[in-house]
Structure 1
Amino acid sequence: MKVYLLIPLFVCSIYFAQENIEPIQPTVQPDTIQTENKSSAIDEVVISGTMKSVKRLDSPVPVDIYTSAFFRKNPTPNVFDALQNINGVRPQLNCNICNTGDIHINGLEGPYTMVLIDGMPIVSSLGTVYGLSGIPNSLVERIEVVKGPASSLYGSEAVGGLINIITKKPQQAPLFSADLMSTTWAEFNADFGLKFKAGANADVLTGVNYFNFQNIEDHNNDNFTDATLQNRISVFQKWNFKRNENRLLSLAARYLYEDRWGGDVRWNKSYRGGYEIYGESIYTSRAELLGTYQLPVKEQLLLGFSFINHDQDSRYGTTSYIANQKIAFGQLTWDKKVGRHDLLAGAALRYTYYDDNTVATLSEGTNEPEKTWLPGIFVQDEISLAERHKLLLGGRFDYNNTHGSILTPRLAYKWTLGEESVLRVNAGTGFRVVNLFTEDHAALTGARKTVILSDLKPEKSYNINVNYAVKLYSDLGNIINMDATAFYTYFTNRIVPDYETDATKIIYDNLEGHAVSRGISMNTDINLRNGLKFMLGATAMENTITENGLSEQQMLTEKFTATWAVSYRIKPWKLTIDYTGNLYSPMRLPLLSDLDPRKPMSPWWSIQNLQFTYDGLRDFEVYGGVKNLLNWTPTKGNPFLIARTSDPFDQNVVFDQHGNAVPTPENPYGLTFDPSYMYAPNQGIRGFLGIRFKLN
């Protein structure tokens, strides 16, 4: 039944596209809302595709834009959860106990996704797992998503795509804003924003996010927490300075501290790191600084920089993981138009320091922190071939002090078919330097032994995608935005965790073969004159790994995903109704053995939400509703999720001479303790209520 819930919505979009829509200009008068919508669509500005501000229609690289209004349709306590309703983007939880996760784009794991704040790469490696929590949603102006390799501009990590979080400009933010929300699971989230002037030439915007969840829930009765308990605070401040000739100078900083734990419901901090009661406890302290400075010269020269310091003190049962990572990044870009050529050139330098208490930084019995230098230069030329044709040529050269030289070329072609329709073709390459212990949470839990069979080489890929976008109008005043993309990525090397060769190990090695990610993605926005709005998206994809002539679906990757947001405003009541949701097809799951009774494939599953928002009060909004309407959790259909919660230290497991668990009367399936069987949230249905206040 869940699969069919989306069918009426797609039928509706097809009906309006085929019956009521013609690719012509509106017949209504210029002062109507249709003209306003048309103008705003043309004037949308994006920066992520080409690293410069351009109108969305003019960008040769397709960029998806999601405004703060979109995320208010399904309010969440952090950006990580907010991405769940973006087509082709899936927040993936990687652990049933500590609930850390990463962001998948078109089925590719989190380390392939680069996350930026205001164009600066600030979330990577350790931050991929923990850095997306605590970004105050109240300060987010919009989020731009580029799907497909962007390494030719942004370097390593931008293999699957990038997510650029654009924060509000202090001049355009309200004087004070507050957003308070709580759920029936006793989750509490608070977002505060404040702006002020510091002298005559500086505007300052401050944001604070606080999230607290201390309620132990165990609805599946395995004596382990269903959701991780968290206490998190994040403070963000952004300074914009006025300079001569409107030159840019912006500084921003953020500090995050989080204390989270999950595990046996009897656990408390006195058991941290001990054998008595199992728990996973993580203390995270993270500081970030970023800025942009336009040099005082006639040429358009921008200096961008960011610095991250990430300290982590974790205990996964008795396994200790204590790490520090520092990333310093600087980039100088030159933007110049010469005739038909729109040039962008730049030089970047990234320095990464990483140290922990694992074998990752152990060399011949002594601790040797990793110190990686990654200088690079890049150039891009956007050529206006004719009035409706543009060609973008670009390339990047990076030098890694461990792996040597890496070259990533790029090509894009844009054909403007009509006033509001465009065809784009993009091709390029991607690369990524692997660091398992900062990226793959499964390598840290201690439930399985990590085995690295050889020196891990950089991952390399080749990509091509074709995008068609059009905006249509009808005589009835309805508007449809349609967008379709076909994508294909070929990896000559991928580092994929092997859960299946040995149930007691996670094995990593270079790929002796190739991997492919391919598919088709479609988005449709329908704005009806009666106030009903649809945002529909669907992606059909296939992610396969081929070794020794055998191909198989990549683990924890769906073949089909869909998202929707349906909104209707009842103007006399000043009430807006939002119905949001997603749908996922089955994916392969990591079992411990052939005897493991858990399902080897996930079912079709869907998370759906309903919200009512009343804005009839001056400066206030009151909202509330229900999350996870279907009360779906991955427990359904499975005897358990976490293997052997009754014996988390494997004290009663019998192993054979090869280290494999042996079935016994006490352990009939021959399992060990393992929380890696995880692909979706384990929170069931819950209500929520919130209030927003804004003072301009």
Structure 2
Amino acid sequence: MRCLIIFLTLTIFQAKAQQISGSVLSDEFPIPYANVYIQGTSIGTTTNENGQYKLDNIKKGSYTIIASFMGYEAQRKKIGVKEGDIVLNFNLRESGGLDEIVITGTLKAVSRLESPVPVEVYSPTFFKKNPTPNIFEALQNVNGVRPQLNCNVCNTGDIHINGLEGPYTLVLIDGMPIVSGLSTVYGLSGIPNSLIEQVEIVKGPASSLYGSEAVGGLINIITKLPEHAPQFFVDNFVSGWGEANFDLGFKSRVGKKADVLMGANYFKYSNPIDNNNDNFTDVTLQDRVSVFQKWNFKRPNNRKFSLAGRYFYEDRWGGEMQWNKTFRGGDVVYGESIYTSRFEFIGNYQLPISEVVNFQFSYSDHDQNSVYGDMPYLAQQRIGFGQLIWDKKIRDHDLLFGLAARYNFYDDNTPATLNPDEVTIPSLFVQDEIKLSEKNHLLLGARYDYDSRHGSIFTPRMAFRYKPTENDILRFNAGTGFRVVNLFTEEHAALTGARDVIVKESLDPEQSYNVNFNYLKKFYTKAGQIITLDASAWYTYFTNAIIPDYDTNPNQIIYENLEGSSITKGLSFNLDMVLGSGIMASAGVTFQDVSQKENGVKTQQILTERFTGVWSISYKHYPTNLSIDYTGNIYGPMRLPTLGDLDPRSDYSPTWSIQNIQLTLKSNVNLQFYAGVKNILNWTPNQGNPFIIARANDPFDKNVTFDNDGNVLATADNPYALTFDPSYVYGPNQGRRLFIGLNYTLK
């Protein structure tokens, strides 16, 4: 009996499970709530507030332990568990590879490597290579994405993805569609880079999950959770043109169950410059403030509950150099003056039930008081959104069910809006990601929307992912999209008064049919270099397309549903390289053909380049903590909105490029100094043109002569038969300028 007891005791001792513990860090700072798990098992945990984790009851054997967190590259470590507890620490670096966590493509947090939908991910580090006062300008370094200025005077703009106009791009903040139409350019301003966790971009229709406006693609700006943000940060830079940008933020613990993150952005530019000598400001003067606050509450079983809000106010104007506010709205001195006030509210609450069900909601209120010369434009837009999402896994099926409703209110003082446009659009969507095998995943989805103005709208979706190896992915996506047009919130040219707006018919929703192929590959060289290749090909066919017609009559913008079809197709390639010795580089190129065909006649879409390229090269000298970043972009010719046969301005833009260089010195763990030159080549769009703004000397057309049919007559004072028009714009008017800044971060 005694021998049996000894034998059982030894057996139990030998079979005793071990413990694995340690910390997950980044640059020696802890990462709270990071995921730590054993590959191929259901064993896993999250780190605590101090970045520490513990895995209990681990039996003897060989394992691969993985640590991951959104915005950082996942790290794998192989260990052998024998006798005795193991201490295993991880040090994560900011992402740029295949393993970063993405949520935008499927409304679920998944590895980019596993996502059936191709998602591009950009961290704050990427945008800091060329510091800008807002995300709108920062996107100029993303392949296939172009910030487009729509007016030479007030400098408002939108975001083009793969050649499609801004209204086809949906902009989300923390997954909520609160930025649209009237507020696109303003929603992308005033969010400090230091508060951004990452920016995710999906190119191609996403209407099956996100509804109207996600026809060309979507941009999701994901802000940091308070517990992941630095304790305090300040970032300030000024430029040689007199621009000043100031970011400030901090986080705090409120009680035992709440964390709050505060951030503020202030931008000021009050230095009128007229380098092209047309008596108009080259860049709009701006006075902007934005205040952001985000709360995260700790709940039992790690259930989610977060609230965020932002207030934004801006006073911007552009116009004749002698303009001041006493001329606002008059016809003596021309100016475009815009007062904008908006607030946003976002929330996410996981229901206290056994199933994973989240209630997400948002509300925005946008008030705009603006004048374009002597034309007032007073507008209000309110958007309320709520959705319930049920995440359910059944064997090899990863299901998602959604019930949503969107409330839109829009009113302005234009003749086109006799009564406020108010509508509530209920929606129902379902998605099923099926694991066919380890290498093959199939995603099926569909969405149903009911718009009382247009009836039922159905948008199906399909995605297939094939992963032949750990570092190769082939994806095929197909689906449909729809867009309900709100004309005056989307077309700035319709507001300037430079052209008459003609709406020939009641505008029906646009519909699109899209296919997209994507290949993603990661290479590891013998020298330790890492190269990532991302290639895509797409084809989108539109019916009921609404494309502004600038050509039929130079004094009008004509809107109607296209009788024929509109097509966008193209190829894009991205290359990211970690070359070693402190050198990193990336490059991308997009070739696209965007055209419409009506009555057998094919025309290229206006203000759409045939090719575009971006690049960045970074070098860090570790002994001195000195970094150099060289970034740039290049755009091919695009067709421009000229005003008739006599207009001497070019019908096509030249190939043009904006290039920047920056030096950054990290003096210690928390402090950075940076300085550089923007637009090294000193390129501006007036080069090669006699003028940019038509009739800048007569902005109210007081000396323009018309015939009985309303056509402009050529006279000695107006030899080109032009009217005032600032819509001939395709690039920024700012030339070469220095900048210098300071960043202090206390983690």
* Structure 2 length-normalised TM: 0.87
How far residue 531 of structure 1 moved from its aligned partner, in angstroms, is 1.6
Verify the 8 A CA contact 1:479 1:528 in the aligned structure 2.
Answer: yes
Partner of residue 510 from structure 1, selected from 533, 558, 561: 561
Distance in 2, Cα, partners of 1:263 & 1:419: 56
Query: Secondary structure of the equivalent of 1:667?
Result: coil
8 Å Cα contact 2:96-2:122 kept in structure 1: no
Residue 122 of structure 1 corresponds to 178
Give the distance between the partners of 1:239 and 1:38, measured in 2 at CA: 24
SS of the residue aligned with 1:658?
A: coil
Displacement, 1:616? Answer: 2.2
CA shift at 1:40, angstroms? 8.2
> How far does residue 136 in structure 1 lie from its aligned partner after superposition?
2.0
* Matching residue's letter, 1:281: S
Q: Tell me, in whole angstroms, the C-alpha distance in 2 between the residues paired with 1:582 and 1:96.
A: 21
Aligned counterpart in structure 1 of residue 549 of structure 2, from 498, 505, 509 = 498
Question: Would you say the 8 A contact 1:136–1:234 is kept in 2?
Answer: no
* 1:559 alignment partner in structure 2: 610
Q: Does 1:312 align with 2:363?
A: no
Superposed counterparts of 1:408-447, under 5 Å: 408-447=459-498
Residue in structure 2 matched with residue 675 of structure 1 by the alignment: 726
Match of 1:75, SS state, is: coil
The correspondence of residues 442-521 of structure 1 with structure 2, limited to 5 A, is 442-521=493-572
Q: CA deviation at 1:433?
A: 0.2
Report the Cα offset of residue 30 of structure 1.
8.0
Letter in 2 for 1:71: F
Measured on the aligned residues, the alpha-carbon RMSD in Å equals 1.6
Larger radius of gyration: 2
Whole-Å separation in 2 of the counterparts to 1:137 and 1:212 = 17
Show the counterpart of 1:282: 338
Partner of 2:314: 258
1:114 touches 1:158 (CA, 8 Å); kept in 2? Answer: yes
Report the residue type matching 1:559 in the other structure.
R
> Which of 197, 213, 216 matches 1:160?
216
Q: Does 1:637 align with 2:688?
A: yes
1:136 aligns with 2:187: no
Listed one character per residue, the Cα deviations across residues 132-163 of structure 1 (whole Å, up to 9, x for unaligned) are 11122221111000000000000000000000
Output the amino acid matched with 1:358. Answer: T
Give the equivalent residue in structure 1 for 2:668. Answer: 617
Q: 1:580 to 1:371 in 2, by over 3 A?
A: same
125, 150, 166: which is aligned to 1:69? 125
Please state if 1:59 is matched with 2:115: yes
Within the candidate set 594, 597, 605, 2:648 is matched to: 597
Deviation at residue 36 of structure 1 after TM alignment: 7.1
Q: Distance in 2 between matches of 1:179 and 1:38?
A: 19
* CA–CA separation in structure 1 for the residues paired with 2:698 and 2:438: 69
Q: Number of aligned residue pairs: give it.
A: 663
Letter in structure 2 aligned against 1:415: Y
**Alignment match, 1:547:** 598
Change beyond 3 A, Cα 1:529–1:129 = closer
Q: Distance in 1 between matches of 2:91 and 2:466?
A: 24
Does residue 227 of the first structure (1) align with residue 278 of the second (2)?
no
Instruction: Determine the C-alpha separation between the residues in 1 that align with 2:185 and 2:522.
Output: 37
Q: Secondary structure at 2:138's aligned position in 1?
A: helix
Tell me the secondary structure at the aligned position of residue 572 of structure 1.
coil
- Map 1:276-355; keep pairs closer than 5 Å: 276-355=332-411
CA shift in 2, pair 1:615/1:129, >3 Å: closer
Aligned with 1:519: secondary structure? strand
Q: What whole-Å deviation, never above 9, does each CA across 1:115-141 have from its counterpart, x for those lacking one?
A: 111111110111124321112222111
Alignment partners' CA distance in 1, 2:161 and 2:173:
18
Q: 1:182 aligns with which of 235, 238, 245?
A: 238
Matched to 2:717, the amino acid is E
Closer, same or farther: CA 230–419 of 1 in aligned 2, 3 Å: same
8 Å CA contact 2:530, 2:579 repeated in 1: yes
1:464–1:673 distance in 2 versus 1, CA, 3 Å: same
Q: CA offsets per residue over residues 388-410 of structure 1, 9 Å max, x none?
A: 10100100000001011000000
Larger relative CO (CA 8 A, sep 6+): 1 or 2?
1
Contact 2:96/2:121 (<8 A) preserved? no
Partner SS for 1:655: coil
SS at match of 1:654: coil
User: Deviations 1:215-244 (Å, cap 9, x if unpaired)?
Assistant: 000000000000000000000000000001
Question: Aligned pair 1:208/2:256, yes or no?
Answer: no
Q: How far has the Cα of 1:343 moved from its partner?
A: 0.2
**AA at the equivalent of 1:202:** A
Query: Residues 37, 370 of structure 1: CA spacing in aligned structure 2 closer, same or farther, 3 A cutoff?
Result: closer
Q: Which amino acid aligns with 2:745?
A: K
Q: Which residue of 2 aligns with 1:17?
A: none
Q: Distance in 2 between matches of 1:436 and 1:379?
A: 30
1:356 is matched with which residue? Answer: 412
Q: Deviations over 1:659-694 (max 9, x none)?
A: 111100110000000000001000000000000001
Which amino acid letter does the alignment assign opposite residue 306 of structure 2? S
- Closer/same/farther in 2, CA of residues 376 and 39 from structure 1, 3 Å limit: closer
| Displacement of 1:618 | 4.2
Q: Deviations over 1:604-626 (max 9, x none)?
A: 00010000000023411000000
8 Å CA contact 2:97–2:532 kept in 1: the answer is no
Deviation at 1:629, TM superposition (A): 0.4
Distance 1:685 1:466 in 2: 39
Inter-CA distance 209–36: structure 2 relative to 1 (3 Å threshold) = closer
- C-alpha displacement of 1:275: 0.8
Q: Matches of 1:596 and 1:35 in 2, distance apart?
A: 61
Q: What residue identity is the alignment partner of 1:296? A: P
The answer on 1:78 being equivalent to 2:134 is yes
Q: 1:199 to 1:627 in 2, by over 3 A?
A: same
1:242 matched to 2:298 = yes
Separation in structure 2 between the aligned mates of residue 407 and residue 185 of structure 1, nearest angstrom: 50
Distance 1:30 1:688, change over 3 A: farther
**5+ long unaligned stretches in structure 2:** 1-75, 80-89
CA offsets 1:62-116 (integer angstroms, 9 cap, x no match):
0000000000000000010010000000000000000000000000011100011
Q: Of the candidates 711, 715, 719, which is equivalent to residue 664 of structure 1?
A: 715
Contact 1:129 1:439 in 2 (8 A): no
User: What residue number does 1:50 align with?
Assistant: 106
Give how far 1:420 is off. 1.1
Query: What amino acid sits opposite 2:474 in the alignment?
Result: L
Residue identity matched to 1:360:
A
**Residue 382 of structure 1 pairs with residue 428 of structure 2:** no
Deviation at residue 538 of structure 1 after TM alignment = 0.5
Q: Residue 361 of structure 1 aligns to a residue in which SS? A: coil
Distance in 2, matches of 1:482 and 1:30, equals 27
User: In the alignment, what sits opposite 1:530?
Assistant: 581
Q: Secondary structure at the match of 2:580?
A: coil
Once residues 170 and 38 of structure 1 are traced to their aligned partners in structure 2, the CA distance between those partners, rounded to angstroms, is 18
Q: CA deviation at 1:572?
A: 2.1
Identity over aligned pairs, percent: 61
CA–CA distance in structure 1, aligned partners of residues 545 and 239 of structure 2: 41
How far residue 29 of structure 1 moved from its aligned partner, in angstroms, is 11
1:136–1:236 CA contact under 8 A, matched in 2: no
Residue type matched to 1:387 in 2? Answer: E
Structure 1 residues 452, 40: closer, same or farther in 2, change over 3 A? closer
Pick the aligned partner of 1:396 from 447, 454, 478: 447
